[in-house]
């Protein structure tokens, strides 16, 4: 696991927290929209995608957004 702090990672990537937050929000919104407009396809992918599912991706993005919003 990487031992960088969030600030170090942002600096290394030459990004601000606001820029990263916006990018993650866009990905999160797109996944939720996909789930809402394609519920059966979404469920198919979740049931047939192995260990990680699109639902896991939504949860991971939600956690990342919380970290950025708290920081």
CA dihedral (43, 48, 50, 54) positive or negative: negative
- Contact between 58 and 34 (Cβ < 8 Å): no
9, part of any domain = no
55, part of any domain = yes
Alpha-carbon span 48 to 25, nearest angstrom: 26
How far apart, in Å, do the first and last CA atoms of the chain sit? 20
| pTM of the complete model | 0.81
11, part of any domain = no
pLDDT, residue 1, reads 62
Q: Which residues contact 40 (CB under 8 A, 6 or more apart)?
A: none
21, part of any domain = yes
- Give the tens place of pLDDT for each residue, 42-70: 999 989 988 888 999 999 999 999 988 88
- Give the tens place of pLDDT for each residue, 11-33: 999 999 999 999 999 999 999 99
28, part of any domain = yes
3, part of any domain = no
Q: How many structural domains compose the chain? A: 1
pLDDT, residue 70, reads 85
Residue ranges making up the domain that contains 63: 16-70
Backbone φ, ψ for residue 15 (5° rounding): -130, 160
């Amino acid at each position: 696991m990487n031992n960088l702090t969030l600030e170090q990672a942002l600096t290394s990537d030459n990004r601000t927290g606001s820029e990263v937050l916006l990018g993650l929000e866009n990905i999160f919104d797109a996944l939720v929209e996909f789930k809402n407009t394609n519920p059966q396809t979404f469920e198919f992918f979740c049931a047939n995608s192995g260990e990680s599912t699109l639902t896991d991706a939504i949860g991971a993005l939600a956690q990342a957004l919380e970290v950025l919003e708290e920081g």
